[in-house]
Structure 1
């Protein structure tokens, strides 16, 4: 059977909870730096390890939210790229022949086209001599 033991939140040295404990750091002078000793340990760390360690910044209870947000963002970007590809290729498929047709007809007006049609019909008319 499990027994539960109550634990107090008081500091064993100070005797009172959350008391100012500057005496714990009395051996460090103002000129010394706590971080200076640790900076040598990070020299052999790779960039990938540093990026992976960034997840420790986010508290564990919020990590699922960030993960789902990142997943949804990647999905939205993929969908946008696919939609852009479909729109672009469809526009090229339909617009290219239209642009070629308009470019070939851009030199003449509507009356010129009708006279060209009459001339071509006269040439191809039945009974015409070659």
Structure 2
């Protein structure tokens, strides 16, 4: 078991006695001048919790949280911020690449598909016209064929 003993330092005691004497002298002067103001200041000394700002509360937390834990919280928040920043930057680059590639490859492909569809519609329309002509004049081809044979 460890036994603790306190060792008094004479120079430290002399310094404390001198500082106490100076403080008492300053306090005596201040108290004689401000005795009338003490009543007014006592009202101001009470802390107003309702008007406390968020910044004041955060500053008060600084005194409560140990420095090691504050450092770990700071490192965690800076790491999360850096990850968010890099993901936004890389996401923007990815979207730019995806958009430009789709425009360079997709637009000509869409135009080719559109022209092919138009060509198929034209062929279908022509075949419908031919079948409509066959219905309206069923023997017309035979007549043209007979004239060519003569």
Q: What TM-score do the two structures reach when normalised by structure 2?
A: 0.42
- RCO (CA 8 Å, sep 6+): is it higher in 1 or 2? 1
**TM-score using structure 1 length:** 0.47
> Quick check: which has more Rg, 1 or 2?
2
